[in-house]
Amino acid sequence: MNLSRRGLLGAALTVPLLAYARENELAAIERHSGGRLGVFLDDGETSTGHRADERFGLCSTFKLALAAMVLHRADQGKISLNKRLAIRESDRIMHMPSTEPYLGQSMRVVELAEAAQKTSDNLAANLLLRQLGGPAAFNEFCREMGDSKTRLDRYETEMNLVPPGEVRDTTTPRAMAGLLAHLFSADGVSATAQETLRRWMIETQTGLRRLRAGLPENIVAGDKTGTGLADVMHDKINDIAVIWHQGRVITIAAYFEASAANPGVRAADEAVLKDVGAFVATRL
């Protein structure tokens, strides 16, 4: 088959031009929002992003990796999923929907990991972090999974305070999407751990107004949200997700800083991530 020089050049330019067009779409979503949006999408064959290497506050998106870490360390024999941890009144913290009914009692490690992922329970996350060795041990796990950027420095709820210039408790969209991809790869956590994590992610309901809201109903996806609200910083409305589609694992990390600090989560800010989800849907 003979190809002209012009045809070869056109074929060579097609992929970069498509990627550039997609980046422009994400930039348009950001301009419309008035805030700062970081996105990275990896479909296993191609990738695209916007502000993909800038740092954003993790907020509770770290809990997905924490749940994966628990399952991985259990596979390694370093922790028992059936070990019971005390739920003490002295450990009370904001947002503990799964652990609060067990105050004065105890919960199994696997129950706490599920609670951290599915309901974003802050006490569950703190108990697991302390049991596993703290933020430094979490960072070590991220490095084991090929992520050199994500860093956790504090516990809930202090870790949500990431004003301008703060690098503690941050990640980049590219790093987080890559971490998700690695977790669900042959080199990531075990097949059993992947299946458990996948089920927990799909059953998670906290992000139904974010990335998953923009996806078709017949798409199999799971996610983990993160939210940070404080007077000293603009609202942080985050969501990371995995789509299982036609044998592919597609990962998305979306971190959005709104245009101001608000007393609560605004529907308009969550809709920014819905728009990112709709953008992803065009790639399917």
In the set 4, 47, 60, 90, the catalytic residue is 60
The residue type of 182 is H
**β pairing state of 36-42 and 248-257:** antiparallel
**In this structure, are residues 173 and 52 in contact, taking their beta carbons and an 8 Å threshold?**
yes
The secondary structure of residue 102, as a DSSP letter, is G
Distance CA 42, CA 195 (A): 20
Q: Of 226, 202, 227, 232, which Cα lies nearest the Cα of 215?
A: 202
Please choose, from the candidates 145, 164, 170, the residue with its C-alpha nearest in 3D space to the C-alpha of residue 251.
145
Rounded to an integer, what distance in angstroms lies between the CA atom of residue 99 and that of residue 106? 9
60 a catalytic residue: yes
What residues are labeled active site?
60
